[in-house]
Structure 1
């Protein structure tokens, strides 16, 4: 319990120091020249986007297509990167978001930028009429030294007490596809609903390994699912499954019947769901 409390406290203080360093950096750049702030934030974002594109990991795993998928991915990547820069939430090291190594790289970029921003501020900031008083060299050094000290001590403490099996996640190069494959392989045979949920994501997430792992699983169990009809085995889920993952005989049957069930039955099922939500009992 003590180690957990120390780990949590060091994580909070580390996040606190990082946020102050990042905020102070942006304030110094904005005070010196707003164009410098724009260049810094744009360059940082561009490096992240180029990394994601180079790793073929830019598109988010949500099952969208076309222009909508592009726009959703752009907005999401920009939002997550901005939030990570100004909050340092460790959940963003998830491979589906920033990823481990890009997360750590962002921290050190912020750290390095604070040196550059303070140097630019001292050499290029000019006090004009009505402007605030320029911070002295000693004041800047005191502020930054204090923040660096908290950052360094918190980092050392956090690394010392964190569970060893989690440490590699801060340096991981896993993509969303790699992470999904590892997650899938860790599932037990009886966790069918969780396995099936993988097919509700965009096919880019599993296309590199799906033929090897998911296709044999669906081919082996499809007939049993049709017979047992588990709760998760519904038309909406089937529509997300690539045709090649559906056994040929069932694929032919679906084509002939224009779907898994008769349209009239689907309508009755939908009405029953509405009645259930409204609390209307059967036969009333």
Structure 2
């Protein structure tokens, strides 16, 4: 299972320690977590498929409305929270198109595979991941009710069989979820329901990185500026201004021309901005601005004296 591999990956736990690590290190606990994740995924996918199948045979338009409303609510949630655009560093119609496609695909993957690692704030988000799980349960109940009362063909499933299937899958869903919660490291439980945005996620990435993990911090500046606009001046700017001379001397592998081009002008020391020729029409040296003002005053005074 991909989600199991992601959470137990040493690299993921090193780079994003606040998101990955809910599976304990003890072998028996890991086995229980793995089985719980597998059975929860099975129950979720079957309930979702069960719902779609019953709605499709009852009234195809109802299935269309259900899927459209489900996707539309997810899009609306992301838009209202100003978290719809993907973190890719592009602009205009390209960024909009990629964001729409990504949100659509990620939502579909969670709906029909329940990949737990997609609960990350840059993807589905913890809260809407939980909403999706609950909708798979409630949607199956509503679909079964509509099927029982609206579908009239001779090959209709009897109510007892329908209830047996729905009850069994729901029981597996509940027991698997409880088992996972009881065995997992519960300090990560909030990642399954929090309201963090992609910007909040990246801020946590910076805050949780160690002093020697400049490579991880540097990746944040390659994302779209919207991802760090609200906190970049507080955290990223002091970090780059403090360490730029050292990076120029040490030349780490990630410190490339392409990376420097991604860094906002105001995050680069002025002397280096001049060397990179990144000041034109953008950020000026405060000292140069004061000198220019003094020269203007002198010119004005000189003109008055001539008169």
Is 1:4 the counterpart of 2:30? The answer is yes
Distance 1:15 1:168 in 2: 19
Deviation per residue, 1:38-74 (Å, 9 max, x gap): 1001101111111111111101111111110000000
More deviation, 27-36/164-173: 164-173
| Matching residue of 1:122 | 148
Task: From 21, 27, 31, give the equivalent of 2:47.
Answer: 21
Distance 2:217 2:224 in 1: 14
Is 1:101 the counterpart of 2:121? The answer is no
Is 1:183 the counterpart of 2:209? The answer is no
Report how far residue 105 of structure 1 moved.
0.5
Partner-residue secondary structure (3-state), 2:277: helix
Deviation per residue, 1:103-153 (Å, 9 max, x gap): 0011111211111111111111131xxxx7111111111110111111111
| Matching residue of 1:141 | 163
| Matching residue of 1:58 | 84
Relative to the length of structure 1, the TM-score reads 0.87
Is 1:252 the counterpart of 2:278? The answer is no
List 4+ stretches of structure 1 deviating above 4 A. none
Distance 2:279 2:266 in 1: 18
Distance 1:233 1:69 in 2: 25
- Aligned residue pair count: 254
| Matching residue of 1:91 | 117
| Matching residue of 1:31 | 57
Report how far residue 24 of structure 1 moved.
0.5
Q: 1:106 to 1:252 in 2, by over 3 A?
A: same
Relative to the length of structure 2, the TM-score reads 0.80
Aligned CA RMSD, in angstroms, stands at: 1.5
Stretches of structure 1 that go unaligned for 5 or more consecutive residues are 259-284
